[in-house]
Structure 1
Amino acid sequence: MSEVEPLRYHSTRSAGPTVPISQAIAAGLAPDGGLYVPEALPSIDPAAFDPHGTLADTAAILLAPFFAGDPLADELAAICVEAFTFDAPLHALPAHPNTMVLELFHGPTSAFKDFGARFLAACLRRLPRNDARPLTILVATSGDTGAAVAAAFHRKPNVRVVILYPDGLVSPRQAHQLGCFGDNVTALRVVGRFDDCQRMVKAALNDATLQAQLPLSSANSISLGRLLPQMSYYAHAALSWWREHHKPLNFIVPTGNLGNALACLWVREIGLPIGSLRLACNANTTLPDYFSGAPYTPREAVATLANAMDVGAPSNFDRLRWTYPDVHALREQLQAASVGDAAIRQTISNHAHEYGYVFCPHTATAAHLLDQLRASGDATPWTVVATAHPAKFESVVEPLIEQPLAVPASLAAMLARPASSEPLAANENALRQWLLQHAQA
């Protein structure tokens, strides 16, 4: 087997300097404030994958070119086994011919963020650090990311996790998850919106003076250590479908910050059998407006039932533009639609009562687009990407389905713990001062 050429990474704002993936993962954000991307996306032959392989096996083959020549390359298979201890099953949707649901909520915190968070933690645990001080992982969350990262890093030595979430704008069970860990995890409830949390985290990561006093990294979807592993479940599902049906699989992805959707898009770009990709957004219309032809215009997020997608300035948009520098080509490759709260409620109710399948509010945005496609006569294979377990949103879902939801065992265990959080103003200096004050804690 010939030696693979090492792949290096640069900022979306500059073609250089390039760094190995270990450095990109450790830093989270490039020094100029941009997002790390590979010099070029590799190409992978679908025949390279074991038809009988597990999700971890698929991930190891898929990600090998991205880690080529890096110290983590020899550990990649072990990292995948450590991270992917639960499945991402592809199920037929009851009473819907040619329609599947890709269930990504079987991890410890009942959300798709578990895949990337656990992979990132497994990577960082293996990276040598010259600094003996604890590494502080900063996380801005609109609901699910924070708990996944907290679970992945909980009680890990020499690591602290600081979670920022918008006070009152996550579900009660999400808020409880964020504050239930303790030990090396702190939850800060920000008096603002998710975009404020995201802006504050980016500012801290880009503050060289602060970084000199306190080693920082990120676990948001801006981190390649979270984005790349999310490609794995799309590859695994698409390859399984392709082997059986000899045709690509189409996906409808609920999205807010664009990380999960970008992972699906990159799988298609590297040559695996994914067909059409549609983005389902909530009432935050930044992406639907852009894909309809309007200029890209970030704006303040509005609160919706699908709160984890309440994003007005998607941070992975720069990576999307890097993938397709020509705006016309980008708009030909993707479509995005907005789904309001009324349609979310109706979709949850209809599917529960008519088909016996219960969606969370985020997944319901994708299911609504599916219903529209089927009503228009589209009979092609579509997969709805189910991003979270509906039991995390019982206050929304249970009144609509008119029965209680069973709570996954791991979620029930978290809800049984006491939870606490600290208030924080929605500005960069407030976070900076908090971090410095607690640096020696």
Structure 2
Amino acid sequence: MKLYSTKNHNLSVDFETAVFNSLPADKGLYMPTFLPLLDTEVIANWDKKSLQEIAFDLAYALLKDDITAEELKAIVDEAANFEAPLVPLDKDVFVLELFHGPSLAFKDFGGRFMSRIMSHFLKKEHKEIRILVATSGDTGGAVALGFLNVPGIKVTILYPKGKVSLIQELQLTTNGNNIEALEVDGTFDDCQALVKQAFLDKDLNEKYNLTSANSINISRLIPQMFYYANSYARLKNQFKDVTFVTPSGNFGNIAAGMIAHKMGLPVKQFIAATNSNDIVPQYLTTGVYTARPSVQTLANAMDVGDPSNFVRILDLYGNDKVELEREFSSIAFDDSQIKQAIVKVYQEKGYIMCPHTATAYLAIEAEKAAGNQTAENAYVMLSTAHPCKFPDVFEELNIAYEIPSSVDELYHKERQQKPMTKHFEDFKTYLLGEG
């Protein structure tokens, strides 16, 4: 697979280069120069295949020139070795549960796939790398568990002080070995800015082979296509159309689904549900994209004031807002609405949604209230994290949930985070001072 920069379509690098560079020098994002169309017969037979088999079809279509079929199948089978079940919430509404992996969040798909892709290339090149990753909550845990004890890789995770839940923080800070966590006195946007500046710093790049595990890295998006395709396969014999509703912060998750759509995955509509960080809904309303500092909400992994991956979505549609809006919309909800949705669904359906999932539910309610649903359309709302990651929310709402055994174990581990300011010179000095 060859890739270009969203700021320079004449650029061409191979997949391995894009994986380890993460960002082009011009500060754009890598995108495939060509998206292969999936054979319609292959898609037609997906209802007879497992998640892992569907995942291989997608991955091989993109990476067959970079990794052998045998090696890629082993990577896919190991990375996606847990299920993503569809749970019916209503006759036409389904919850896609993406929290059955090790870190209890959807980002396990990306973290595990990326770590194995990097390990594959590192074994051939005999080199070591340093991963820098900013997290607003769930990315860090997925990356930490995905890369823990992977030879040749050291991971530095930056997270905003006081703006992640206790369980999210424990998943970031209790690993040790090749995983370190920096507690940044700032917001997620400050963490992300530090990472981006580091990639472009000459001194740091002379000392380290730097790369990222955020959704800015193209290898994170590929495995996120898997569960969109698998969901379609489970529903295609019941419904003519499928609409995916995705809780969106940095917009990598929904970008992955839209890339799969461009490869032939039949999807009627994509809806990005956001919290009060409503930069994209505002853009669709006004036509003006205005980044701003993120605000803290209950759905903390979505607290992003300048979503990096939205440029990928725009690029997919030739930066044509009119064309984009034929298949994409976005709507925002505040904390009070999120709480009300969690309580309503629990009382009426007995189902517990995390705050992120609640934004997706609210978006579906808004669509139906506007009269946009049909009997032939299924709504799939992506449930991106286990409720246990938000103990304060559910304590306030007086809703009890089952705590996974892996979470109980975290409380007995020692935290090892290090404090960091939001100033790049301090971050740079820290990195350069390490051996």
Task: Bin the TM-score by the shorter chain.
Answer: over 0.9
User: Who is 1:28 aligned against?
Assistant: 22
Mapped contact 2:122–2:128 kept (Cα < 8 A): no
Give 3-state SS (helix, strand or coil) of 1:332's partner.
coil
Within 5 Å, which residues of 2 pair with 1:242-321?
242=236, 244-245=237-238, 247-321=240-314
User: Who is 1:3 aligned against?
Assistant: none
User: Who is 1:334 aligned against?
Assistant: 328
> By how many angstroms is 1:294 displaced?
3.1
Looking at structure 1, the residues matched to 68 and 55 of structure 2 have their Cα atoms a distance apart, in angstroms, of: 14
Letter of the structure 1 residue corresponding to residue 50 of structure 2: T
Q: Residues 51, 130 of structure 1: CA spacing in aligned structure 2 closer, same or farther, 3 A cutoff?
A: closer
Within 5 Å, which residues of 2 pair with 1:77-226?
77-93=73-89, 96-128=90-122, 134-226=128-220
Deviation digits for residues 10-34 of structure 1 (CA, Å, limit 9, x no counterpart): 1111123312212211221123222
User: Who is 2:384 aligned against?
Assistant: 387
Looking at structure 2, the residues matched to 300 and 280 of structure 1 have their Cα atoms a distance apart, in angstroms, of: 19
Quick check: 371-380 or 248-257, which moved more? 371-380
Deviation digits for residues 237-277 of structure 1 (CA, Å, limit 9, x no counterpart): 112211x2251311111001000011111121111121111
Looking at structure 2, the residues matched to 306 and 28 of structure 1 have their Cα atoms a distance apart, in angstroms, of: 26
User: Who is 1:406 aligned against?
Assistant: 402
Letter of the structure 2 residue corresponding to residue 300 of structure 1: P
> By how many angstroms is 1:42 displaced?
1.6
Give 3-state SS (helix, strand or coil) of 1:336's partner.
strand
Looking at structure 2, the residues matched to 385 and 199 of structure 1 have their Cα atoms a distance apart, in angstroms, of: 28
> By how many angstroms is 1:397 displaced?
1.9
Quick check: 108-117 or 70-79, which moved more? 70-79
Looking at structure 2, the residues matched to 48 and 416 of structure 1 have their Cα atoms a distance apart, in angstroms, of: 48
Mapped contact 1:267–1:274 kept (Cα < 8 A): no
Unpaired segments ≥5 residues, structure 2 = none
Looking at structure 2, the residues matched to 77 and 141 of structure 1 have their Cα atoms a distance apart, in angstroms, of: 29
Within 5 Å, which residues of 2 pair with 1:58-73?
58-71=54-67
Give 3-state SS (helix, strand or coil) of 2:182's partner.
strand
Give 3-state SS (helix, strand or coil) of 2:365's partner.
helix
Looking at structure 1, the residues matched to 93 and 239 of structure 2 have their Cα atoms a distance apart, in angstroms, of: 16
Letter of the structure 1 residue corresponding to residue 359 of structure 2: T
Q: Residues 61, 247 of structure 1: CA spacing in aligned structure 2 closer, same or farther, 3 A cutoff?
A: same
Q: Residues 321, 308 of structure 1: CA spacing in aligned structure 2 closer, same or farther, 3 A cutoff?
A: same
Q: Residues 130, 252 of structure 1: CA spacing in aligned structure 2 closer, same or farther, 3 A cutoff?
A: closer
Give 3-state SS (helix, strand or coil) of 1:117's partner.
helix
Letter of the structure 1 residue corresponding to residue 112 of structure 2: R
CA RMSD of aligned residues (A): 1.7
Quick check: 178-187 or 208-217, which moved more? 208-217
Quick check: 182-191 or 328-337, which moved more? 328-337
Looking at structure 2, the residues matched to 165 and 295 of structure 1 have their Cα atoms a distance apart, in angstroms, of: 29
Mapped contact 2:165–2:389 kept (Cα < 8 A): yes
Letter of the structure 2 residue corresponding to residue 124 of structure 1: M
TM-score by length of 1: 0.93
Equivalent pairs: percent with the same residue?
Answer: 39
Say if 2:53 is the partner of 1:57: yes
Unpaired segments ≥5 residues, structure 1 = 1-6
TM-score by length of 2: 0.95
